[in-house]
Amino acid sequence: MNIEVKNQIAIVREPGVLVTGGPSAMELLATVRYETGCSAVILFKEQLDESFFRLSTGLAGEVLQKFVNYQMKLAVVGDFSGYDSKPLRDFIRESNQGRQVCFQPDEGAALAWLERAGA
């Protein structure tokens, strides 16, 4: 897997969808931890199955619970303005106020958030 490390934060550069459910999230977590030793990761929106962004599928909750359980901070980078779901917008806003998961428009903002969150 193509992973770059900056400031103890793993940035997954692998193209394509990597996370389609709990098992693939666990595989990603294990790979990042084993290959880098990092406890924070940046993923790009395109690496998450599109159903992640439809909260009614439960995929976001299933995946993010894995990151919380295994104490891996996560920043998702992308343009989320195309989603018109109020629950999703609220979820993104509330996540960004916490210290475990965030959604940022670019890699620089994601790195800064993770560093502030104690990555």
Full-model pTM:
0.94
Distance CA 112, CA 119 (A): 10
User: Phi and psi for 74 in degrees, rounded to 5?
Assistant: -135, 135
Q: How confident is the model over 34-80, as pLDDT tens digits?
A: 999 999 999 999 999 999 999 999 999 999 999 999 999 999 999 99
Q: How confident is the model over 2-31, as pLDDT tens digits?
A: 999 999 999 999 998 889 999 999 999 999
Residues in the chain: 119
Q: What is the DSSP string of 81-119?
A: TT---HHHHHHHHHHHHSSSEEEESSHHHHHHHHHHTT-
Q: Are 63 and 96 in contact (CB under 8 A)?
A: no
Residue 119 has pLDDT above 80, yes or no: no
Q: Are 28 and 19 in contact (CB under 8 A)?
A: yes
Residues 6+ away with beta carbon under 8 Å from 2: 12, 13, 14
